[in-house]
Amino acid sequence: MLKDIVIQALKAVQNDCLSLSKQHYPTVHNRGISNNHLTSLVERRLQVIATQFGTSLSSHSIELGTNDVSENTAYRRITLPYGSVWLFPYSIKTANKVFKGQLSKTLNLWREEYAYAIQPNDCVVLVCDHWLNRINTSQQLLDWWHNQLPDDFAMYAQQGILLAQSSTPKLDDVMQSLNLQPCYKAHAHPLKKEEDGSSVKRYVQLYAIFECK
C-alpha cells in the first residue's frame, strides 16, 4: 500500500512540474527547482493521495549530523499508517563524484542515525533535477540512474545532447550497499518549447523509490 501511494504521488508531482515550469519558466530555466520546493511538491501530493486513501500523514525534518543545515531542512520523514517515506531531494548542479559521494554519505549517515526508526518496507524517495551539459558525468547521469539509456536516445542527440553509458558503481549499486531495493524509477522533461510544445531535453527531473529491507 505504501509504495502504491508514493508512486501515485510522484506521478502527480511530474504533472505538477509541467504546470509549474510553464508558469515560472524563467526561474526554472535559470536555476532549476530548489530542494525545499521539491520537498513541498512531494509532501503536498502525498497528503492529497493519502486523503484519497482515507488516511493521514505526519511530516518531520530528518536531522543529520552535518554542517549543512539548509539540506537538513529539505530532508523529510513522512509517516503514514503503512510506514515511513524518507524523502531526499537534490538539485544536482554538477553530476560528478562529489554529488554521488555526498548522496552516499548522506544515506549512510541516515542509516546510522535513524536505525531505531527505519522499518522493513519503508520507502526512500529521491527527487532530483539537473541541467544536462557536455561534462562526461552529466552525459552519463541517465544511465547511472536507470542502468540504461533512454529509448528515445536519438531525440537527445537532435537537441545537441550527447548521452553516454556510465561506469560502476551505479545508483542501484550504491543503494544495494545500504540494503535498499529499487522499486520505481522515472525521469521527466517538464520544460516545453514555445514554438512546438516539444520537451526541452536539457532539463531533466529524476524520481526513484527504494524499499528498505
Which pLDDT score, from 0 to 100, does residue 161 have?
95
- On whether residue 165 sits in a domain, the answer given is no
Please give the average per-residue pLDDT across 59-76, as a whole number: 77
- On whether residue 21 sits in a domain, the answer given is yes
Which pLDDT score, from 0 to 100, does residue 23 have?
55
Domain that holds residue 17: 1-132+170-191+203-212
pLDDT digits (tens, 9 = 90+) for 152-163: 999 999 999 999
Domain count, the chain: 1
- On whether residue 115 sits in a domain, the answer given is yes
Please give the average per-residue pLDDT across 7-24, as a whole number: 78
Please give the average per-residue pLDDT across 207-213, as a whole number: 97
What are the cell numbers at 175?
A: 543503494
Give the pLDDT band of residue 122 (cuts 50, 70, 90). very high
- On whether residue 154 sits in a domain, the answer given is no
Which pLDDT score, from 0 to 100, does residue 198 have?
83
More confident residue, 24 or 127: 127
Cβ atoms < 10 Å from Cβ of 10: 23
CB-based burial label for 150 (10 Å; 0-12, 13-18, 19+): middle
- On whether residue 162 sits in a domain, the answer given is no
DSSP-derived pairing of the beta strands 123-131 and 83-92: parallel
- On whether residue 94 sits in a domain, the answer given is yes
Strand ranges in 71-202 using DSSP code E only, listed in sequence order:
76-80, 83-92, 123-131, 180-188
Dist CA 63 CA 133 (whole Å): 33
- On whether residue 150 sits in a domain, the answer given is no
Dist CA 49 CA 6 (whole Å): 8
Please give the average per-residue pLDDT across 127-133, as a whole number: 93
- Report DSSP state, residue 199: B
pLDDT digits (tens, 9 = 90+) for 136-187: 999 999 999 999 999 999 999 999 999 999 988 999 999 999 999 999 999 9
Asked whether residue 24 carries a pLDDT value surpassing 50, the answer given is no
- Report DSSP state, residue 192: B
Contact 123, 86 (CB under 8 A): yes
Please give the average per-residue pLDDT across 115-142, as a whole number: 95
What are the cell numbers at 152?
A: 528515445
